[in-house]
Chain A
Amino acid sequence: MELLDDIAERFRSRAPSCDYWTLRLVAEESDHLEVRQGVVEPSVIASTLGAMVTIVTAGGVGYGATSDLSPSGLSSAAERAADWARMHASHGLFEADLFPRSATVADYRSPVSEPWKGMSVADKLDLLQRADAALDIDERILDCSAWITRSRLKQLLVTSDGGRIAQRFEYVFPGLLAVANAGSQTQRRHGGGADSVQQGGLERLAAARLLEEAPRVAEEAIALLDAPECPSDTRDLILLPNQMALQIHESIGHPLELDRILGDERNYAGTSFVTPGMFGRYRYGSDLLDVTFDPTVPGELASMVADDEGNAAGRRYLIRRGILERPLGAPLSQARAGLSGVACSRASSWDRPPIDRMGNINLEPGEGSLEDLIARVERGVLMDTNRSWSIDDSRNKFQFGCELGRLIEDGQLTGLVRNPGYRGISAEFWRSLDGVGGPETREVCGVANCGKGEPNQAIFVGHASPPCLFRDVAVFGGGE
């Protein structure tokens, strides 16, 4: 952080003359190790270092982003930002005085119990080679791989109002993939932490239990080849936490984004079936549906102390007992819409401006175990691990597919089914929620590639959820 502080201090000493400025510096380092089919893939060591200067002046707002962090480079970025602020003043959508100002001073550091360097590269590769070998259990396994990606991101946001927010994020993402084939049927199965990405250090690698997981992942990929297709009819559905993450993401998270509701995303990511008048009264789901924006969960992917515009972040209910309470909108969108919201203005890196984003969007636990949920199903299917996602531009009509399904008959898990999928309409689906697992069933998952925005941005968001039971859902299998 020292380097970023030095750069910030130099900028502050030559700060542009304007109503308000922010400087957001981002330094990220990443390392990717992978073994595929017994061969060590080229390892990739990457780093990025850059800054975004935001200027409010002459009644407008503009930004300039640059990888040139010299005093002259930052001055040039500030000048370009000021030029765009003047253009915004003439043709802007909103008054510049709505732009939030921050004097927040705060620090955040990801919880890391084991440092990345606590294990040598050779030992990491050795572990990956053994995990990869443990996936290759049968001639029907045509492809397999084991990997670890580590990323460390330091971000310093300073403002002309005296704000200084330093955040250090650290991530270790392990994973396994087995691809099985027989004739014209191919099945892919992931595991080893691939569907439960979190912040943290090398302890994430230990938690992934690659060597223990690998045989199961490969066996399930092979078993799916001969499994019957998931039936196509209407029946009860249990979604495991890793698929709940996707369900929450697509049909609660995105529709509650206030910039979508305001229309900013209509040309790309889309709009929302949610309208401003729904907050405080709309029944989004059954009484069992409690959803929070919670940046305080240790290790969850989007835990943070403040967003990228300097708004201090805290836990807030979005939906309580099924009733919609507030949108995912940061102060600028809140001011434009006249609604309260949360601190969720986030950017993917230094070269993209903050926009309304999900953070950690969590479905709060209910009661009981997964077995309790299964026991309540007479005829249903359980689905595990997302593999396909598609939803309309207002986030209503969705169709999702999973890697693996299991039939439920008379309260018992029975046979495996392949190519399981289900369809629904967000506005109706959550009202069919009839069971939420207890705290002990909750798993912290996330989405590492949430795409949105113009220019485009892919970002990390977290989703913690127990397994959930939905009644009378349209399910289907594969085939033409």
Chain B
Amino acid sequence: MNQEYFQKLAERLFTRLEGEEILFCSLGGETSDFVRLTRNRIRQAGNVHSAALGLTLISGARQAEGSCDLAGESGPDLLRAIRLLQALRKRIGHVPEDPYLNYSTEPSESQRRVEAELPPVEEALAELIGAAEGLDLVGIWASGEIQEGLSSSIGHRHWHQSNSFNLDWSCYLESDKALKSGYGGFRWDSSVLRSKLGAMRDALHVMAQPAVTIAPGRYRAYLAPAAVQELMEMLAWGGFDLKNHRTQQTPLLKLIRGERHLDPRICIREESSRGLAPAFTAEGFLQPDSVALIEQGRHAECLVDARSAKEYGESVNAAGASPESLALDAGDLSLADVPARLDTGLYIGNLWYCNWSDANDCRVTGMTRFGTFWIEKGEVQGPVKVMRFDDSLYHVLGDRLEALTRDRELILSADTYDGRSTSSALLPGLLVSGIDLAL
């Protein structure tokens, strides 16, 4: 679905507004190829073409929201949209005034098109399967175009479109002996894929060593950026948004009360300026380039969406409650120095299935998974059987943090629950003096 089609549909809806009604129209669409791979063969392959129209009808201080799918044919689409508009108008008659109704009254426009240089999907996949011959590769290829648009009867006109690919895979030796990797972006380069697969083959040789079993307890550890991402996603789950702060539900409660703090080197930002996710909100507000969430280990600003802004008297700086373009500042540890600085402990490639063990104390539990090794005197001794950790981020990002790496990794989300995600995170690795393993 292109911008012109969406805009024309929106304009036709605006002509059907009555009295002082205001209408915000949004579009979320994608044309995606999804190919699942198991044992380096295609398990399930297909294509998804979808487009969903969102409407928010405002009448005075009342509002109602709705959505419907679009077919891409102007006649039937207009009919569906008008039907939805009528349903919202009817609903508005039954709802009271909304004290937290909040939308931008200033017209604004923006356009961003992130183009890609991609070969035909079939070609890229054939190349992958050939290059990974002999590997027990499992994962998913996702590629194609994503569109997000906003148009309002006030005069907002925003469009974000990107064409990208995301290959998210792992390679197994046996049982839980596995390594994970990913290659995504906007320009396909065969040599990058081959280089990643080559590095994986080398690492699988190390993984082939007998597995090390360790007992529960506290261990020195290095967490690679992919593992750090899991911890950041926990903080993103209610940690940064204004509503959860004001209702004391944030897992950073003791941080905002000043009872605990993180290491002064911990600086976390939402960086909309990265440009991979839309920079506008459904209510027509524009997001700032950057929002400091944690500065020098202390709480800085909250993410404030339109509704919370009105409820708590703040300014809008986010589309929702969670970061979409998170960044954790780099440190000064070079990657080459990681084994020596770790000396003896765990190299944790990934964490998995994290959840709050006790949110009041920012205590998280989760599992090691993929590429976790036992290191002694800077040398790899072997892979570690999966272990459960249960520890507070006030320790891992606080009093037990020794260093952050100088190099950071840009991780593009492979999430596809609500369509292909445009979220990303820019993260260093972390060296900690201890992480508590419970099982």
A397 and B386 form a contact (CB under 8 A): yes
What sequence of 0s and 1s flags, for each residue 113-152 of chain B, a beta carbon within 8 Å of any chain A beta carbon? 0000000001001100100000010111010000000000
In the assembled complex, which residues on chain B have CB atoms less than 8 Å from the CB atom of A73?
71-73
Does B247 belong to the interface (CB within 8 Å)? yes
Q: For chain A residues 37-77, which have a beta carbon within 8 Å of chain B?
A: 39-40, 42-50, 52, 61-70, 73, 76-77
Does B168 belong to the interface (CB within 8 Å)? yes
Q: In the complex, how many angstroms separate the beta carbon of B32 from the nearest chain A beta carbon?
A: 8
Q: For chain B residues 51-96, which have a beta carbon within 8 Å of chain A?
A: 51-52, 56, 63-73, 76, 84, 87-88, 91, 94-96
Does A207 belong to the interface (CB within 8 Å)? no
A186 and B125 form a contact (CB under 8 A): no
Q: How far is the CA of A39 from the CA of B139 in the complex (A)?
A: 45
B38 and A263 form a contact (CB under 8 A): yes
Does A267 belong to the interface (CB within 8 Å)? yes
Closest chain A residue, CB of each to CB of B141: A454
Q: For chain A residues 378-421, which have a beta carbon within 8 Å of chain B?
A: 387-394, 397, 399, 401, 419, 421
B42 and A87 form a contact (CB under 8 A): yes
Q: For chain A residues 67-125, which have a beta carbon within 8 Å of chain B?
A: 67-70, 73, 76-77, 80-81, 83-84, 87-88, 90-93, 120-122, 125
A77 and B49 form a contact (CB under 8 A): yes
Pick the residue among B96, B176, B259 that contacts A271 (CB under 8 A): B176
B353 and A391 form a contact (CB under 8 A): yes
In the assembled complex, which residues on chain A have CB atoms less than 8 Å from the CB atom of B395?
480
Main secondary structure on B side of the interface with A: strand
A45 and B64 form a contact (CB under 8 A): yes
Does B253 belong to the interface (CB within 8 Å)? yes
Q: In the complex, how many angstroms separate the beta carbon of B400 from the nearest chain A beta carbon?
A: 12
A87 and B50 form a contact (CB under 8 A): no
Q: In the complex, how many angstroms separate the beta carbon of B235 from the nearest chain A beta carbon?
A: 16
Does A434 belong to the interface (CB within 8 Å)? no
Q: For chain B residues 226-257, which have a beta carbon within 8 Å of chain A?
A: 247-249, 253-254, 257
Q: Which of A168-176, A177-185, A284-292, A464-472 participates in binding chain B? A: A177-185
Q: In the complex, how many angstroms separate the beta carbon of A393 from the nearest chain B beta carbon?
A: 5
A48 and B140 form a contact (CB under 8 A): no
Does B361 belong to the interface (CB within 8 Å)? yes
In the assembled complex, which residues on chain B have CB atoms less than 8 Å from the CB atom of A477?
358
Q: How far is the CA of A73 from the CA of B251 in the complex (A)?
A: 47
Q: For chain A residues 121-150, which have a beta carbon within 8 Å of chain B?
A: 121-122, 125, 142-143
Closest chain B residue, CB of each to CB of A454: B140
Asked if A50 meets B69 with Cβ closer than 8 Å, knowing A62-B46, A81-B46, the reply is yes
B96 and A92 form a contact (CB under 8 A): no
In the assembled complex, which residues on chain B have CB atoms less than 8 Å from the CB atom of A213?
none
Does A294 belong to the interface (CB within 8 Å)? no
In the assembled complex, which residues on chain A have CB atoms less than 8 Å from the CB atom of B358?
401, 419, 421, 477-479
Question: In the complex, how many residues of chain B place their beta carbon closer than 8 angstroms to a beta carbon of chain A?
Answer: 94
Does A338 belong to the interface (CB within 8 Å)? no
- Which of B48, B140, B169 gathers most chain A CB within 10 Å? B48
Q: Which of B2-10, B104-112, B287-295, B365-373 participates in binding chain A? A: B365-373
Closest chain B residue, CB of each to CB of A474: B439
A143 and B180 form a contact (CB under 8 A): no
Asked if A47 meets B84 with Cβ closer than 8 Å, knowing A70-B71, A84-B45, the reply is yes
Does A357 belong to the interface (CB within 8 Å)? no
Does B170 belong to the interface (CB within 8 Å)? yes
In the assembled complex, which residues on chain A have CB atoms less than 8 Å from the CB atom of B87?
45
6 nearest A-B pairs in the assembled complex, by CB-CB distance: A63-B46, A478-B358, A454-B140, A455-B416, A143-B247, A93-B41
A–B Cβ pairs within 8 angstroms, 13 of them: A45-B88, A48-B68, A50-B50, A81-B46, A186-B249, A390-B388, A393-B352, A394-B176, A399-B390, A401-B357, A421-B358, A455-B420, A478-B357
A residues at B contact (CB < 8 Å): 39-40, 42-50, 52, 61-70, 73, 76-77, 80-81, 83-84, 87-88, 90-93, 120-122, 125, 142-143, 179, 181, 183-186, 188, 262-264, 266-268, 270-271, 351-353, 355, 387-394, 397, 399, 401, 419, 421, 423, 425, 451, 454-458, 477-480
